[in-house]
């Protein structure tokens, strides 16, 4: 790694986009809510996970459904390959989860393996009384191709680190679906390292949970890597869904494309999207674009959307971002209604339309129907109440 770093002439960059990590819990003070990175998060609802609440819970079940060729093993932390992605905890929760995890769940795709169909890991929480620490490591070997889906459901207080390693020339689609029960709290730090000419499609789908906060960062282990980050979320009354993304363009000729779309409905539904991109001096010829769109369906919701772009070289192919938060577009509804379609039905079409191209881009056939029906079920709670 140090050879690569030297070859790339990587330098330290002083930036709030890029804080120093540490494995030592006490080097991360308990957040107060006044910090930039914590100001949106409802700390009181984290059940003390950000303080000192024990993380030794075992109220969960894991089921695994792997495509042939993919392996998944629970390995004692000491014997595991954790850290392979370069993840260093950036906050207290991540550091505590690291310290408390006695084992690491390793999913491995062998070199050169081209795997059809998705491999699915189902995590089902069975209670919120105790908090659990978890660590997942997904490695896609050189020139492999595979899809890995993690489905979360049930009730849990879940603190987690996820590492994704995509080796040179590999193509990995990694999906998390947070379909938690209404009382779940999920705090996860994810870090991906994308190899030379490798491609990572990182998909985050969030429907359930009381508080979901996901920190996802990606860096490149060589030139030519490509990262696509797609997100789809639907926040109901009282739900807090926070996605914080950071793409560190630390190698030349790399690409990143981020599209997160969300809908909000109900009193105190709150979503947060932070899209950080750092283009280092060495990262010439890179191309990055990030986009966040929120559709506000009812009164009483709040969507925060903050794109940040820090550029240290002008020698790039492209860099841009877009953010929009809006209610239904009256012109869309008028056009559909002028063809006889009722107002509710028109709203339904517009919301499905809003998510459809994203679902198409996610392009995991095993999930497509589930996503469409879940969007429909979410709509039934408010928009379509009178229709069903």
Partner 1 sequence: MSTLEIKDLKVQVNTEDGPKEILKGVTLTIKDGETHAIMGPNGSGKSTLAYSIAGHPRYEITGGTVTLDGEDVLEMSVDERARAGLFLAMQYPVEVPGVSVANFLRTAKTAIDGEAPKLRTWVKDVNGVMERMNLDASFSQRSVNEGFSGGEKKRHEIAQLDLLDPKVAILDETDSGLDIDALKVVSDGVNRFRERDGKGVLLITHYTRILRYITPDYVHVFVDGRVADEGGPELAEELEANGYEKYLGTTV
Among 110, 349, 366, 381, binds partner 1 (CB under 8 A): 349
345 belongs to the binding site for partner 1 (CB under 8 A)? yes
The pair of structure tokens assigned to 200 is: 């990572």
Among 59, 354, 371, 375, binds partner 1 (CB under 8 A): 354
Interface with partner 1 by CB under 8 A: which range of 6-14, 25-33, 192-200, 325-333? Answer: 325-333
Among 26, 58, 338, 386, binds partner 1 (CB under 8 A): 338
Per-position x/- string for 98-137, each x denoting binding to partner 1 as judged by CB under 8 A, each - no binding = ----------------------------------------
Q: Smaller CB distance to partner 1: residue 36 or 357? A: 357
Instruction: Report, in Å, the least distance between residue 328 CB and partner 1.
Output: 11
Instruction: Report, in Å, the least distance between residue 350 CB and partner 1.
Output: 7
353 belongs to the binding site for partner 1 (CB under 8 A)? yes
Instruction: Report, in Å, the least distance between residue 239 CB and partner 1.
Output: 24
Q: Smaller CB distance to partner 1: residue 53 or 349? A: 349
Among residues 242, 235, 291, which one has the least CA distance to residue 263?
Answer: 235
Q: With beta carbons less than 8 A apart as the criterion, state whether 278 and 13 touch.
A: yes
Number of residues that bind partner 1 (CB under 8 A): 23
Interface with partner 1 by CB under 8 A: which range of 128-136, 234-242, 263-271, 338-346? Answer: 338-346
361 belongs to the binding site for partner 1 (CB under 8 A)? no
Q: With beta carbons less than 8 A apart as the criterion, state whether 166 and 190 touch.
A: no
Among 334, 363, 369, 373, binds partner 1 (CB under 8 A): 334
Among 350, 361, 381, 382, binds partner 1 (CB under 8 A): 350
Q: Smaller CB distance to partner 1: residue 112 or 335? A: 335
Among 6, 79, 330, 386, binds partner 1 (CB under 8 A): 330
337 belongs to the binding site for partner 1 (CB under 8 A)? yes
Q: Smaller CB distance to partner 1: residue 6 or 331? A: 331
How far is residue 186's CA from residue 154's CA, in Å, rounded to a whole number? 11
Among 11, 343, 368, 369, binds partner 1 (CB under 8 A): 343
Instruction: Report, in Å, the least distance between residue 345 CB and partner 1.
Output: 7
Interface with partner 1 by CB under 8 A: which range of 18-26, 128-136, 301-309, 331-339? Answer: 331-339
Binding site for partner 1 (CB under 8 A): 330-332, 334-343, 345-346, 349-350, 352-357
């Amino acid at each position: 790694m140090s050879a690569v770093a030297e070859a790339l002439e990587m330098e330290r960059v002083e930036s709030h986009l890029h804080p120093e990590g540490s494995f030592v819990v006490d080097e991360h003070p308990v957040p107060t809510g006044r910090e930039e990175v914590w100001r949106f998060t409802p700390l009181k609802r984290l059940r003390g996970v950000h303080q000192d609440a024990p993380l030794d819970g075992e109220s969960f079940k894991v089921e695994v459904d792997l495509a042939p060729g993919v392996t998944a093993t629970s390995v004692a932390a000491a014997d595991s390959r954790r850290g392979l992605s370069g993840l260093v905890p950036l906050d207290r929760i991540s550091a505590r989860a690291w310290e408390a995890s006695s084992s690491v769940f390793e999913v491995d795709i062998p070199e050169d393996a081209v795997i059809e169909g998705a491999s699915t890991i189902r995590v089902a929480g069975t209670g919120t009384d105790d908090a659990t620490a978890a660590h997942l490591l997904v490695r896609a070997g050189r020139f492999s191709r595979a899809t890995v889906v993690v489905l979360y459901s049930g009730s849990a207080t879940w603190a987690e680190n996820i590492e994704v390693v995509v080796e040179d020339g590999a193509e990995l689609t990694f999906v998390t679906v947070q379909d938690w029960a209404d009382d779940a709290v999920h705090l996860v730090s994810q870090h991906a390292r994308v190899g030379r000419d490798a491609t990572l499609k990182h998909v985050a789908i969030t429907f359930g949970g009381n508080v979901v906060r996901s920190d996802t960062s990606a860096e490149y282990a060589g030139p030519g890597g490509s990262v696509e980050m797609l997100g789809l979320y639907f926040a109901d009354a009282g739900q807090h869904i926070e996605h914080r993304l950071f793409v560190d363009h630390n190698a030349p000729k790399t690409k990143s494309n981020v599209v997160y779309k969300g809908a909000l409905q109900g009193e105190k539904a709150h979503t947060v999207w932070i899209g950080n991109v750092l283009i280092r001096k060495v990262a010439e010829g890179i191309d990055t674009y990030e986009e966040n769109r929120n559709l506000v369906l009812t009164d009483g919701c709040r969507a925060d959307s903050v794109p940040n772009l820090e550029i240290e070289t002008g020698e790039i192919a492209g860099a841009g971002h877009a953010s929009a938060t809006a209610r239904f577009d009256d012109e869309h509804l008028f056009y559909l209604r002028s063809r006889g379609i009722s107002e509710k039905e028109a709203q339904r079409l517009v919301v499905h339309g809003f998510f459809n191209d994203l679902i198409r881009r996610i392009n995991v056939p095993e999930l497509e129907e589930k996503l469409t029906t879940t969007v429909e079920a979410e709509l039934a709670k408010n928009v379509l109440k009178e229709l069903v």
